[in-house]
Amino acid sequence: MAGIFDTLINCFAKKPSEAAAGAAPFRVVFVLGGPGSGKGTMCARVVEKYGWVHLSAGDLLRAERKDPASKNGALINEYIREGNIVPVGITLALIRTAMEQSGARNFLVDGFPRSADNLEGWEVDMAECADVASLLYLETTEAVMTERILRRSAETVAAGGAARSDDNAEAIAKRFATYHTSTMPIIEIFKGRNKVHVVDSTPAPDVVFACVCELFEKLGS
């Protein structure tokens, strides 16, 4: 695995993920962590306290696949069901449209980039419009994440909702495998750029959020 990490880090070492200072209209913090690490919870709190706009790559993709007018809905559904990463062009188009329609400057981009292909696509298509200020990495164990995912699914069903198609043991295992092989190298790349803020997301939400706030206090408005 170390060899894969080293190769990717070298590949992206000379490709900064942000545009020249002052040139980009949007400012972004990537939010990464395994499924169930607390990304949605922490993003909601940042939105409430600091006013950043939360864009979840997964939510954008799920909304798109449910849109009967979407030409990509069936393809997105297949990728998500198998625990694989959706083609970067589709995800980037959804993220950029959401940014442009929001009228805001500061964005939490949750669950992206999840692979080397995602990062390369971002740096080709988005660097001129979005300055990546940092990557917030929420770190915890697979046991904790699995328990959270299954509890969330049970609570959704108990409330009369429908469980997500990928909130089952088989799909969760696939999601963890994809996360370790594809997303962890991205976190290492940003560590090499001194742009990662690591937070242990195992404790209670208030404890985790206090650590998250350290990053946004530094970034300011």
pTM for the full model? 0.80
In percent, how much of the chain has pLDDT > 70? 87
Q: Assign 3-state DSSP to the chain and report helix, strand, coil percentages, each to 5.
A: 55, 15, 30
Choose the CATH number for 2-18+31-219 among 3.40.50.300, 1.20.1250.20, 1.10.3720.10, 1.20.1050.40: 3.40.50.300
pLDDT digits (tens, 9 = 90+) for 24-62: 799 999 999 998 999 999 999 999 999 999 999 888 988
Regarding predicted confidence, which is higher, 8 or 152?
152
39: tokens are 């990304």
142: tokens are 């697979």
98: tokens are 């959401």
Strand intervals (E) in 48-191: 53-56, 106-110, 130-139
Give the pLDDT band of residue 20 (cuts 50, 70, 90). very low
